[in-house]
Amino acid sequence: MQGKIGLEEHFAIEETLNDSKGFLDPSIWEELAGRLMDPEDRRLREMDENGMEMMVLSLNAPAVQAITDTQKAADLARRANDNLAEKVARHPDRFRALAALPLQDPELAAAELNRCIKELGFVGALANGFSEGADPDALLYYDLPQYRAFWAECAKLDVPFYLHPRNPLARDSRIYEGHPWLLGPGWAFGQETAVHALRLMGSGLFDDHPNLRIILGHMGEALPFNIWRVDNKNGWVKAPHPQPAKRTFTEYFEENFYITVSGNYCTQALLCSLQVIGADHIMFSTDWPFENVDHSANWFDAVEISENDRHKIGRQNAIDLFKLDL
């Protein structure tokens, strides 16, 4: 398929490059670093060779979210966003941008989101999971009450928010002790992000802001397979649900969430997702540079789905959600 649009496509700046160093084997670090810091040459070549018209770019992980000094986080986010704006300006027909945000402080995050959308022409935001702040005992998940004003601004701007994974902190990773291969994209990324997404659903956030749209990568971080059980556990017990949200998790997932196929090129997972969330809420992505563009594109171009669904997932849903002028 020609004209594909990818939504989880990463870059790094010098200050964030080493944040990606531990995710893959050290023997290929030079290759990964080159991909992350590529001045667009190889990225564009990969796109051309694999039928991709556009990439929506975002900063690597955890980057801003792992900085405990709020002002330093805000300064880094601004530098990264300015760098990304320059990349987009050089190739406006091939790239769009998602803002990095200093969510350690919701007011600063809202201000930077406004700047990126209104002044730099970005089309949304991406956060690498929870943020760390000055209090080492506090993890800042975005369902917490102090984030409601930020979400109100996001809803007012009517832009999507991509909730990207990060590993749990070392103190919260005892379940993985002795099994480091379970950290990162193999398992811990998905588990951490799915819990964060469920916290957002259960908090009542989408009752207050029904137009909010959250994107999850990697075929929805296993939620298409598990969301039914979240709602229907112990179904014989007729008791009110304990969460503040007024509706079911499934309803929020179907209406307020989109998922991408980034890094999860599994046909069975896609077919499950089509049945659960529907073709209108699934979008193409590659997860470059951590995955290969050709692996994603070759699978997607050949996967046995209808051509109508292929067009929606590969291109049209992104155009509609991000209001792309294509």
Question: Could you list the active site residues?
Answer: 287
* Dihedral of alpha carbons 261, 188, 109, 71, sign: negative
Per-residue burial over 82-120, b = 16 or more CB atoms within 10 Å of its CB, e = otherwise: ebbbebbeeeeebbbbbbbbbbbbbebbbbbbebbbeeb
Question: Cα(168)–Cα(181) distance, rounded to whole angstroms?
Answer: 14
Q: Are strands 131-132 and 139-140 parallel, antiparallel or unpaired?
A: antiparallel
Q: Which of 196, 211, 207 is nearest to 248 (CA)?
A: 207
Question: Cα(82)–Cα(112) distance, rounded to whole angstroms?
Answer: 11
Query: Burial, 286: exposed, middle or buried (Cβ in 10 Å; 0-12, 13-18, 19+)?
Result: buried
Question: Cα(16)–Cα(12) distance, rounded to whole angstroms?
Answer: 6
